[in-house]
């Protein structure tokens, strides 16, 4: 593989010295970019875009052509796994993802298949290897997955949910079935991320989008436990370098100490947790990623720059911080505002990495 020209993202995740704070954005390849909308129109629909390695590569690289980002992230979806397990993923305009089959009983669970990474999910690995080739060492490539709990909610509810009625009903009324589902998902995710690493992913992130919907005890038992299992099962070195793992629970600021014991190299933060507070709580155990509110990007560029400065000040001196939004960029954001955000990090962060 080609030698990396810019490795500050990987170095920061491992708390190694960097010249400035690295930056990437969750959902950086997406609907806010007109070029993405044009490529998606050519693909026909979202799933067709995900399953076409060349087009998935094209949209992955689009934000790198606009902005001085320090990482690319695989263009895919967290629901590729349940789809490959036989649930039949589809998208309805304005309603988000849906599944033709749901998991509500032991009988439903028994019908789940164990997908082969080079078969049902081979298109994801094709996209990873294509993107790595086209990046040609420009920046690292991030692979990703949804967490077992997050994937389980979609599989049980049949799509998105505001109250997770069926998922929480199963958790409390049939915990054995929930644990069986989560354990199977963890096993599949280990295979999935290891296949992405083998195909060329240089860091991986676990998106626990709905962990914050759980109670304190339920989070530890039904979400964090299984993410910890995944981290333990990953191949943590490839091409002579460590492969860092980022664990991101939206709404998970109250569990940072427990998350820091997971074995992950870095924790993602949403905008509800102070970086200064998070750093004081986790110490040197893990790096931190985040955490500007995506809605700040609706503000004028001068305000965006001010917010960036405050967040950098919150983290303070030294490596171990990857700048990001606290969740995915919104589709209605002006691309020029994203540019102001990224350029502010590039310009303002070197002062926090001076060698003393």
> Is residue 354 very low, low, confident or very high in pLDDT (cuts 50, 70, 90)?
confident
318-336 pLDDT, tens per residue?
Answer: 999 999 999 999 999 999 9
Asked if residue 177 belongs to a domain, the reply is yes
Model confidence at 356: pLDDT above 80: no
Q: Is residue 2 part of a domain?
A: no
**Residue 156 included in any domain:** yes
28 is in an annotated binding site: yes
Average pLDDT of the residues in 276-284: 96
Is there a domain that residue 314 lies in? yes
Supply the CATH number for residue 111's domain.
Answer: 3.20.20.210
pLDDT at 349 over 90: yes
- Check the annotation: does 198 bind a ligand: no
Residue 162, domain extent: 8-353
Non-local CB neighbours of 100 within 8 Å, separated by 6+ positions: 87, 88, 90
Q: 135-170: per-residue pLDDT in tens? A: 999 999 999 999 999 999 999 999 999 999 999 999
Does 40 fall in a domain?
yes
Range 66-93 average pLDDT: 94
Q: pLDDT tens, 173-199?
A: 999 999 999 999 999 999 999 999 999
Residue 260 has what pLDDT?
98
Band the pLDDT of 44: cuts 50, 70, 90: very high
Domains contained in the chain, number: 1
Q: Is 3 among the domain residues?
A: no
Per-residue pLDDT of 91-102, as tens digits, reads 877 778 999 999
241 is a domain residue? yes
327 in a known ligand binding site: yes
173 annotated to a ligand binding site: no
233 labelled ligand-binding = no
Please indicate, yes or no, if residue 1 is contained in any of the structural domains. no
> Average of pLDDT values for 96-113?
95
Name the residues annotated as catalytic.
27, 31, 40, 77, 154
For residue 216, what pLDDT band results from cuts at 50, 70 and 90?
A: very high
Q: Is 289 part of any known ligand binding site?
A: no
27 annotated as ligand-binding: yes
């Amino acid at each position: 593989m080609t030698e990396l020209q810019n490795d500050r993202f990987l170095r920061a995740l491992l708390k190694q010295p960097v010249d400035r704070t690295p930056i990437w954005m969750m959902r950086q390849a997406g609907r806010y970019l007109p070029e993405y909308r044009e490529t998606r129109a050519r693909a026909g629909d979202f799933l067709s875009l995900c399953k076409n390695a060349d087009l998935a590569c094209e949209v992955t690289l689009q934000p790198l052509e606009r902005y001085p980002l320090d990482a690319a992230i695989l263009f895919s979806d967290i629901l590729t796994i349940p789809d490959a397990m036989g649930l039949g993923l589809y998208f309805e305009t304005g309603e988000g993802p849906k599944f033709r089959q749901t998991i509500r009983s032991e009988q439903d669970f028994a019908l789940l298949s164990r997908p082969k990474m080079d078969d049902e999910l081979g298109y994801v690995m094709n996209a990873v290897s294509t993107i790595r080739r086209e990046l040609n060492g420009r920046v690292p490539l991030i692979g990703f997955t949804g967490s077992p709990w997050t994937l389980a909610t979609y599989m049980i509810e049949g799509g998105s949910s505001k109250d997770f009625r069926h998922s929480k009903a199963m958790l409390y009324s049939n915990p054995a079935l929930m644990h069986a589902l989560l354990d199977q998902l963890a096993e599949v995710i280990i295979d999935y991320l290891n296949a992405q690493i083998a195909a060329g992913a240089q860091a991986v992130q676990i998106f626990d989008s709905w962990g914050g919907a759980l109670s304190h005890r339920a989070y530890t038992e039904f979400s964090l436990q299984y993410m910890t299992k995944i981290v333990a099962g990953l191949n943590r070195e490839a091409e002579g370098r460590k492969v860092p793992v980022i664990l991101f629970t939206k709404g998970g600021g109250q569990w940072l100490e427990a998350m820091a014991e997971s074995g992950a190299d870095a924790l993602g933060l949403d905008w509800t947790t102070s970086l200064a507070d998070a750093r004081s709580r986790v110490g040197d155990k893990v790096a931190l990623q985040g955490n500007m509110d995506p809605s700040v990007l609706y503000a004028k560029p001068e305000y965006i720059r001010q917010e960036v400065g405050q967040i950098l000040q919150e983290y303070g001196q030294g490596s171990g911080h990857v700048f990001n939004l606290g969740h995915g960029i919104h589709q209605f954001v002006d691309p020029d505002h994203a540019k102001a955000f990224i350029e502010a990090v590039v310009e303002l962060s070197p002062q926090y990495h001076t060698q003393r």
